[in-house]
Amino acid sequence: MENEVKLAAGAMVTLGLATAALVVLPYIQVRDVKAPEGLKPYTSAELRGRASYIANGCVYCHTQQPRDKSFGPDAERGWGRATVPGDYSYDKPHLLGSMRTGPDLMNIGVRQPSKDWHLGHLYQPRAYVPDSIMPSYPYLFDVKNEAEPGDEVLKLPPGYAPQNKIVVATPEALDLVKYLQSLNRSYPVLPPEPQAASGAAAPAVEAAPAPVPVPAAAAASAS
Amino acid sequence: MDSAVMSLLGAFLLSIIGLFVFIWSMRKGLLMENPRAASVIFAKGEIGKVDDPALQPGERAELQAAAAEKGDAAIHLPDELELDQRLDADRSSAFPVFMFIAFACMWLVLGSVAGLTASLKLHMPDWLVSEAWMTFGRIRTVHLTAVLYGWITNASLGVIIWLLPRLLRTPLMGAMWVMLGGALINVAIASGIGAIGAGWTDGMEYLEMPWQIGLFIVAGMVCIIGPVLYTLVNRKVESLYVTVWYHVAALLWITLLFLVAKLPGVHYGVQQATMNWWYGHNVLGLWFTPVSVGAIYYFLPKIIARPVRSYNLSILGFWTLAFFYAQVGGHHLVGGPVPGWLVTLSIVQSMMMIIPVAAFSINMAGTMWGRTHLARYSPTLRFMMFGGLMYMLSSVQGSFEALRSINQVAHFTHFTVAHAHLGAYGFVTMVLFGAIYFMMPRVLHWEWPYPRLITLQFWLAAVGILIYFVGLSYGGWLQGQYMLDATRPFMDSVNVTLPWLKSRSVGGALMVASQIIFVGHFLAMVLRFGPERTGAALFSLRRAQKLELDHGE
């Protein structure tokens, strides 16, 4: 090869093909996907919480994409049905994740609805899940001598609160918990690719194996 | 249209096009072996004359003696004119190259310390948690940004800017623009790391740097591409050596990739995820890999003084890499909420990646055949051989990892992390180390002051990455199997990885130690420590004297 024009042109063609396949076509295919009826837009508090989820890099240990039964026991673990593109209509940036150092969180709001549990777990994960390797987030909390009006005081398991002091959640922690509680994709949706049935049968609504709510005390195994 | 019909139609069209390309290449004689093009990296009469500036004169004589082969007696002195051109080319790029490598070294130390910290945090979760910037999610991202953009990208740019003028036998034109580009890129990296530490991030893997900061990277790359293309069209050689293709294409690719990925307001939801992995995999496949493969195609033959075995295989490797690698990103979303055809396409192309990898490996094995003992004499050669071998291993592993059956276990686990490090460290970083050891004596006109440190660094890095890779792959595989076993609680998959996470920290500590030695040695060289041996890295006394006069030393 002696021609730099051919080199540059060839390089651009290969990249163009890849971009068409992995960026443009998916864009065309999903741009018209509507948000499912059961999915509500995030409130502003939840969006602030989502911003702290992103800022603190939670996505590097937690996925938000339960897989189909054929890919693993995600539903059996209570993580919920396999997600469909519409489930992410309001997600920007996407938080699908690529790592399960910790469990999938797509439906954590269903299986762990308790605010107290979330706050305490963020303050010290090992107070609830003894072998957890999740970092503790003391910087999301204030340690005080006594509560002031309007303070959200943490109810920690015995032995985990600082001596003679109380732990109070910061607004950031409260927002983050609101976001976690909002993670709920248990409403029913159409199966992922209804056109695969070539219009013969009316698309059936997928029976959503609703994530099992786990009582806070027994949550150890799930988290 | 039905996705199955679409993929069948696509496959059919592709095969037809492929067939026509093949017929055309036969008619054009592209498959005729072309030894002249493979020898373009040597000046006339230079084949058979080993070259490793990282070696001291005595060691170089040993390497030369070991590399001698039948027929070498007839070798003439290298063509003086061509050597002069190379010397001019080297001098034209010296300052920008030094700048890139110096930045690269700085980010390497920061990035690897952050990496070790993140590794330790995974088995010491209550360590360094008081401040937000220290939390795992941020330190890990600082590590990734510092090593990917800070170390690998800067070092790659240094290698490209040093090699292209040499290969084109033309002084670098517009060096000031290159320096400006480098400054912009490093401003962006520094601000990006600061932003991530402060919690300002775009939140996508490999694309964490906020797009406002990312614009500086695009601007910097454009400032670098301009002079590179200008030098390319004004070149003095007729034939473009294969390294030029890899490097020029890589520069164009990474700029466009980054630009498309960072366009604000375009990508959202699931489509953003496919874009994320299109970028995430292409930054490895169309930036790190072609730069390192291109560097091996230059340095390895240069050190052993024999042209690469088959020039055609290197061409085949280039085009198949360009075509297949660009489309493999979707395999990161196997089982995810994305169109099925996309994942299938990426799995097929991942398997097709075996072709460029085999082309490269066969070519290098042919070139090194009967000459592997030369690695005993040259530590730089050792880095290159190790890197080339790891390229083969990590790519073949990557191809199989894309398969659904293996992906099901390995995905979402530390197995993937181990694989990523095999590529980014075992392959890319080792090649960059070797290239820097070769380049710097020519850039700074000074020899490496403590040659034994090069050997020590090699073994620390090699042993470190092997401990890291083997332990973490095994632990990650177990983690994946435990996660697939519905009878086991999730916490089992965490507990089973703990010993392997600790072994990862041990391997990582060795790697950090090797990095510190490397950067310390670099600093010693810059500060002119050690015995004075100016010019020894050059070819002849005449040129050495000329240089000394030019430098007024």
Give the three-class secondary structure for A5: helix
Dist. CA B162–CA B228, nearest whole Å: 11
pLDDT of the residue at A114: 95
Whats the size of chain A, residue-wise?
A: 223
Q: What percent of chain B has pLDDT over 90?
A: 71
CA dihedral A29, A32, A36, A40 (to 10 degrees): 120
> So where are chain A's domains?
34-193+202-219
Q: Could you count the other beta carbons within 10 Å of the beta carbon of residue A205?
A: 10
| Phi and psi angles of residue B298, each rounded to the nearest 5 degrees, phi first | -90, -55
Chain B residues in contact with A76 (beta carbon < 8 A): 486
Chain A residues in contact with B339 (beta carbon < 8 A): 25-26, 29-30, 193
Q: Within an 8 Å CB–CB cutoff, is residue B143 touching chain A?
A: no
Dist. CA B207–CA A54, nearest whole Å: 13
* Burial of A61 (C-beta count, 10 Å sphere; 0-12/13-18/19+): buried
Dist. CA B301–CA B278, nearest whole Å: 33
Q: CB-CB: which of A59, A94, A221 is closest to B490?
A: A221
H or E segment to which residue B112 belongs: helix B80-123
Do A195 and B339 lie within an 8 Å CB cutoff? no
pLDDT of the residue at B60: 85
Q: Within an 8 Å CB–CB cutoff, is residue B129 touching chain A?
A: yes
For residue B208, give both structure tokens.
Answer: 């964490």
Phi-psi region of B528 (alpha: psi -120 to 50; beta: other; left: phi over 0): left
For residue B133, give both structure tokens.
Answer: 């910037």
Rg of chain B, C-alpha, whole Å: 24
CA distance A56 to chain B (A): 5
- Smallest CA-to-CA distance from A67 within A53, A49, A87, A46 is with A87
Do A99 and B130 lie within an 8 Å CB cutoff? no
Candidate from A201-215, B89-103, B525-539 with smallest mean pLDDT: A201-215
Chain A residues in contact with B9 (beta carbon < 8 A): none
Do A22 and B346 lie within an 8 Å CB cutoff? yes
Q: Could you count the other beta carbons within 10 Å of the beta carbon of residue A185?
A: 25
pLDDT of the residue at B553: 41
Candidate from A44-48, B145-149, B427-431, B441-445 with smallest mean pLDDT: B441-445
Do A99 and B412 lie within an 8 Å CB cutoff? yes
CA distance B231 to chain A (A): 11
Amino acid at B535: G
Q: Which of residues 201-230 of B touch A (CB under 8 A)?
A: 201-205, 229
CA dihedral B127, B130, B132, B133 (to 10 degrees): -60
Dist. CA A151–CA A153, nearest whole Å: 6
Chain A residues in contact with B267 (beta carbon < 8 A): 27
Contacts of A104 (CB under 8 A, 6+ apart): A62, A63, A64, A65, A66, A74, A77, A79, A80
Q: Within an 8 Å CB–CB cutoff, is residue B32 touching chain A?
A: no
Cβ–Cβ under 8 Å, residues B66 and B58: no
Dist. CA A158–CA A127, nearest whole Å: 9
Amino acid at B145: T
Cβ–Cβ under 8 Å, residues B397 and B422: yes
Question: For residue B87, is pLDDT > 60?
Answer: yes
Amino acid at B359: A
Return the CATH class of domain A34-193+202-219: mainly alpha
Dist. CA B142–CA B148, nearest whole Å: 10
Beta strands in B30-80 (DSSP E): none
Q: CB-CB: which of A68, A84, A99 is closest to B335?
A: A68
- Given the structure tokens 């970083």, which residue do they identify? B429
Q: CB-CB: which of B239, B252, B330 is closest to A11?
A: B252
Q: Within an 8 Å CB–CB cutoff, is residue B317 touching chain A?
A: no
Question: For residue B76, is pLDDT > 60?
Answer: yes
End-to-end CA distance of chain B: 73
> So where are chain B's domains?
3-31+42-67+79-551
Chain B residues in contact with A112 (beta carbon < 8 A): none
Q: CB-CB: which of A2, A18, A56 is closest to B135?
A: A56
Q: Quick check: bond before A162 cis, omega within 30? A: no
pLDDT of the residue at A195: 44
Do A22 and B239 lie within an 8 Å CB cutoff? no
Cβ–Cβ under 8 Å, residues B279 and B205: no
For residue B373, give both structure tokens.
Answer: 């003992």
The dihedral through the CA atoms of A151, A155, A156, A161 has a sign that is positive
Q: Within an 8 Å CB–CB cutoff, is residue B506 touching chain A?
A: no
Cβ–Cβ under 8 Å, residues B253 and B289: no
Q: Within an 8 Å CB–CB cutoff, is residue B77 touching chain A?
A: no
Burial B69-78 (b: 16+ CB within 10 A, else e): eeeeeeeeeb
Return the CATH class of domain B3-31+42-67+79-551: mainly alpha
Q: By CA distance, what is A69's nearest residue in B? A: B335
For residue B459, give both structure tokens.
Answer: 């073994």
Chain B residues in contact with A105 (beta carbon < 8 A): none
Give the three-class secondary structure for B128: coil
Counted across chains A and B, CB pairs separated by less than 8 A come out at 239
Q: By CA distance, what is B481's nearest residue in A? A: A72
Higher pLDDT, B37 or B350: B350
User: What is the mean pLDDT, run by run of 10 residues, along chain A of 223 residues?
Assistant: 81 92 88 87 96 96 94 92 92 94 96 95 95 96 92 91 92 97 90 46 49 49 42
Q: CB-CB: which of B200, B204, B249 is closest to A11?
A: B249
Cβ–Cβ under 8 Å, residues A140 and A170: yes
Do A22 and B412 lie within an 8 Å CB cutoff? no
Q: CB-CB: which of A12, A82, A138 is closest to B252?
A: A12
Dist. CA B110–CA B187, nearest whole Å: 15
Candidate from B87-91, B142-146, B257-261 with smallest mean pLDDT: B87-91
Contacts of B370 (CB under 8 A, 6+ apart): none
pLDDT of the residue at B532: 61
User: ipTM score here?
Assistant: 0.90
For residue B532, give both structure tokens.
Answer: 């004075």
Do B271 and A27 lie within an 8 Å CB cutoff? yes
The mean pLDDT of chain B is 91
Strand partners, A153: A168
Q: Within an 8 Å CB–CB cutoff, is residue B419 touching chain A?
A: no
Give the three-class secondary structure for B412: strand
Do B245 and A7 lie within an 8 Å CB cutoff? yes
Q: CB-CB: which of B141, B274, B326 is closest to A57?
A: B141
Q: By CA distance, what is B349's nearest residue in A? A: A18
For residue A195, give both structure tokens.
Answer: 């056109």
Locate all alpha helices (DSSP H) within B234-322, ordered by sequence.
242-262, 269-283, 289-304, 311-320
pLDDT tens digit sequence for B324-333 = 999 999 899 9
Chain A residues in contact with B252 (beta carbon < 8 A): 8, 11-12, 15
Q: Could you count the other beta carbons within 10 Å of the beta carbon of residue A152?
A: 17
Q: Quick check: bond before A211 cis, omega within 30? A: no
CA distance A149 to chain B (A): 26
User: Which whole-number Å values give the CA distances from B234 to A4, A57, B86, B228, B345, in the listed order?
Assistant: 11, 47, 15, 10, 40
- Smallest CA-to-CA distance from B11 within B510, B349, B360 is with B349
Q: Which of residues 420-449 of B touch A (CB under 8 A)?
A: none
Contacts of A73 (CB under 8 A, 6+ apart): B484, B485, B486
Chain B residues in contact with A222 (beta carbon < 8 A): 489-490
Do A63 and B272 lie within an 8 Å CB cutoff? no
Higher pLDDT, B161 or B38: B161
Angle made by CA atoms B419, A16, B178, in degrees to the nearest 5: 75
CA distance B325 to chain A (A): 9
Q: How confident is the model at residue B550 (pLDDT cuts 50, 70, 90)?
A: low
For residue B106, give both structure tokens.
Answer: 């700085």
Dist. CA A102–CA B513, nearest whole Å: 30
Q: Within an 8 Å CB–CB cutoff, is residue B2 touching chain A?
A: yes
Cβ–Cβ under 8 Å, residues B393 and B418: no
CA distance A175 to chain B (A): 16
* Burial of B134 (C-beta count, 10 Å sphere; 0-12/13-18/19+): middle
Looking at residues B123-140, what average pLDDT do you find?
95
Q: CB-CB: which of B315, B337, B414 is closest to A87?
A: B337
pLDDT tens digit sequence for B444-491 = 888 899 999 999 999 999 999 999 999 999 999 999 999 999 999 999
Give the three-class secondary structure for B16: helix
CA distance B238 to chain A (A): 7
Chain A residues in contact with B123 (beta carbon < 8 A): 133
Question: For residue B73, is pLDDT > 80?
Answer: no
pLDDT tens digit sequence for B228-264 = 999 999 998 888 899 999 999 999 999 999 999 999 8
For residue B378, give both structure tokens.
Answer: 């040259």
Q: Could you count the other beta carbons within 10 Å of the beta carbon of residue B431?
A: 30
Contacts of A52 (CB under 8 A, 6+ apart): A140, A172, A175, A176, A179, B199
Q: CB-CB: which of A59, A125, A132 is closest to B203?
A: A59
Q: What percent of chain B has pLDDT over 70?
A: 94
What is the distance of C-alpha A113 from the center of its chain? 14
Q: CB-CB: which of A54, A82, A196 is closest to B203?
A: A54
Half-sphere exposure of B140 (CA within 13 A, CB side): 20
Strand partners, A142: A168
